[in-house]
Structure 1
C-alpha cells in the first residue's frame, strides 16, 4: 500500500507557528502568524507525527509492535499471522491467510487515503519475483541502468568482479581520475550490494580509495561493471522451508589491507539454508596473529546473530544454541577458554563479550573446514572456480524474468 499525503495526516503536539503564506495574508492582521494543528511537509515533526498516528491506529486494532524493529507490527489470529512492515509512507503486509490481507487493506483504506499496489514486485530498486520454488530477490533493472549510466553497456564480460592477484595500493605515479565520477560509481555499486553479495568485497575495497582515486583504481572498478554485464539477472533465491534454525559463518583475511596492514572481516548469517545477512569490513585494529583476526571476526558475527535472534522473536521464532562456524581452531579455543593467555592479552576487551554468550549456551562456535567456509567470499578476491562454488551455496541464481 502507498499512503497519499502521509505527512499531512499526522497531528502535532507541540506549538508550531508559521508566517502567513504569500497570497493568503490577512489584510487586517498582517503581522499575525498561523498556529498549526496538523503537520506539513517540510516540518521536522511531520515523519514522527505520521508514525505516531499510524502506530496508535494499529495498536488499537490489536496489533503488537516489534520489540527490536518499531516499524514492524504483528497480529496473531488462532494459527494465522498477519505482518505489517512500514517504511515512511510505503506499507508492505502479508499473512498466512489471504482473507486477513483483504480485511486489513479495507480497514486501512477506511481510515487513511491509500492506494493498493497489488502483489509486491518492486521496492526501492529491488525486484521481487514470487514463484513456486520460492522468492527471488534481485536488482537486474537497476544493474542495466547502471551499465547504461556509465557507458559500459557494451563492455567485455568478465567471470569475476576482481582478479585473485589484484593488489590495490595508494600511488603517486599514476594519473588522477575524476573523483566525482569515481565516487558516483562506488555509491551506485554499494546500493547494488543489497542483493549482490558477490561484489561486496570488491566494492568495499575500491571504496577505500575515494579520497584520491587513480587510473589503476578506476580499472578495478570497471572490471566490477564488466562482471555485472554478464550477470545482470543474478539474484538471491529464498526457498520455501520450515527450517528456521539461525546460524552464521565468519572468516578473516589476515593483514589483507596492504596499506595499513589491517585484516578484513567477513560474515554471513542464514535462517535454515536461506542467506539473510552479509558483511565485509576492514577491522579497526591491527591484528598480531591470524587467531586474533579470526577472533575479532567471530565477535562481529556474534553481535549480528544476537540482533537477529531478538529480531526473530518478533516473528515468534525462538533461537537457542546458535551455531557460529569458524575455520580457525585457535579462535574457537580462545572464545571457550576464559584463561588469560599472554598472546591474547593485547586484544581489545570489547571483543571478549563472545566468551560470555558461549558460556551461557546462546552461541555455539564450531569448526568448519576452509572448503565449506562460505564467508570466504567476503574477505578476499577468489579464483573463478572457488567464486562460483560459493555463489551456488549462497543460493545465487540467474533470474528468468
Structure 2
C-alpha cells in the first residue's frame, strides 16, 4: 500500500473504529466486544436477562398500526448501533435488517424485538470471527430465501454468506424487490444476488493477486439448480425477469 499512498507504519493493528483485532502466527481474531458492552451500557441493558437467540423462529413482525408509538429518534439510534455491530456479528444480521424496516413508524412491538437482540448480545459479547492463516484459498458461497417472509407485500427475503477457506468474509440479508410464485423462483432470484456478490469478491481478490477460478454456490433447492442449467424448458421461468437469468450464463461458462 505504500507504493500507492503516502503512509507510515504505526505498529500492529489492534483496534479500529470499534473493531478489535488480535493477531497471531496462527491467524486473526476479529470482534466488537468493547463496542458491544458500550451499547449495552448506553441503553441500560447491562443487567438484563440473556436470550439464546436474537429472534424467535416463529416471530411475526408487521407494521402493527394499532400498537403504541415509541420515540422514533431513540429507536433509530438503537437500530443504527445494532447495524454497526453486524460488521462482525452475522448472527444478528437478519433480525436487525427486519427491525430496520420500521424506523419511520416504530412502536412497542418493534422496540421489544430489538431489545431481545441486546439480551442475546449480553450473553455472547465474546464471540469473534476467526481467520486462520493456513486456510486454503477456496471461495464458497451459501444462500437461502425466506419465501413470502413479509406478510405485508409478500416479498421474499434472501440471505447469503461467503467463506474463503474456513473464514467467513461476507454476509448480508436483504428483502428482494419482487414477488414470486414458488420457492423455486425465490431460491433462483437469491442465487443471482449471491452470484453478483461472488464476482465482486473475486474482483477484490484479483486486486490482491489471488486468482480464484471455479466457485461453488451451495443451494438446497433442486428446481433452482436445474433452472441455472436450463431455463428454457421450465414453465416457471415465465414469471422471472431477464435480469435474474444471468446466473445461467455463468454456470454454462464454468464460473
Give the alignment's TM-score, normalised by structure 2: 0.96
Structure 1 segments of 4+ aligned residues over 4 angstroms from their partners: none
Partner residue, 1:270: 163
Alignment of 1:117-128 (within 5 A): 117-128=10-21
Partner residue, 2:176: 283
Q: Distance in 1 between matches of 2:10 and 2:38?
A: 23
CA deviations 1:283-328 (Å, max 9, x no partner) are 1101111001000110000001111112111222111121110000
Partner residue, 2:114: 221
Q: Distance in 1 between matches of 2:216 and 2:54?
A: 30
* Structure 2 counterpart SS, 1:343: helix
* Structure 2 counterpart SS, 1:152: coil
Q: Distance in 2 between matches of 1:306 and 1:340?
A: 27
The answer to whether the 8 A contact 2:72-2:106 is kept is yes
Partner residue, 2:246: 353
* Structure 2 counterpart SS, 1:234: coil
Q: Distance in 2 between matches of 1:271 and 1:127?
A: 21
Partner residue, 1:234: 127
Matched, 1:307 2:186: no
Matched, 1:157 2:50: yes
Q: Which of these two proteins has the greater Rg computed from alpha carbons?
A: 1
The answer to whether the 8 A contact 2:64-2:109 is kept is no
Q: Distance in 1 between matches of 2:165 and 2:241?
A: 33
Match of 2:88 among 188, 195, 200: 195
* Structure 1 counterpart SS, 2:76: helix
Q: What's the offset of the Cα at 1:219?
A: 0.4
Q: Distance in 1 between matches of 2:152 and 2:114?
A: 19
Q: What's the offset of the Cα at 1:242?
A: 4.6
CA deviations 1:326-374 (Å, max 9, x no partner) are 0001000001104143211120111111111111001xxxxxxxxxxxx
Q: Distance in 2 between matches of 1:225 and 1:242?
A: 32
Partner residue, 2:59: 166
- The structure showing larger relative contact order (alpha-carbon pairs under 8 Å, at least 6 residues apart) is 2
Matched, 1:344 2:234: no
CA deviations 1:121-158 (Å, max 9, x no partner) are 01111110113442100001100110111111111111
Structure 1: where are the runs of 5+ without partners?
Answer: 1-54, 64-72, 74-85, 87-107, 363-401
Q: Distance in 1 between matches of 2:221 and 2:65?
A: 38
Q: What's the offset of the Cα at 1:255?
A: 0.6
Q: What's the offset of the Cα at 1:239?
A: 1.2
CA deviations 1:253-296 (Å, max 9, x no partner) are 11111221111101111111111100100111011110010001
* Structure 2 counterpart SS, 1:247: strand
CA deviations 1:142-177 (Å, max 9, x no partner) are 001101111111111111111112111112222110
The answer to whether the 8 A contact 2:180-2:239 is kept is no
Corresponding residue pairs, total: 255
* Structure 2 counterpart SS, 1:293: helix
CA deviations 1:47-90 (Å, max 9, x no partner) are xxxxxxxx9xx5xxxx4xxxxxxxxx5xxxxxxxxxxxx7xxxx
Matched, 1:318 2:246: no
Q: Which has the higher strand share?
A: 1
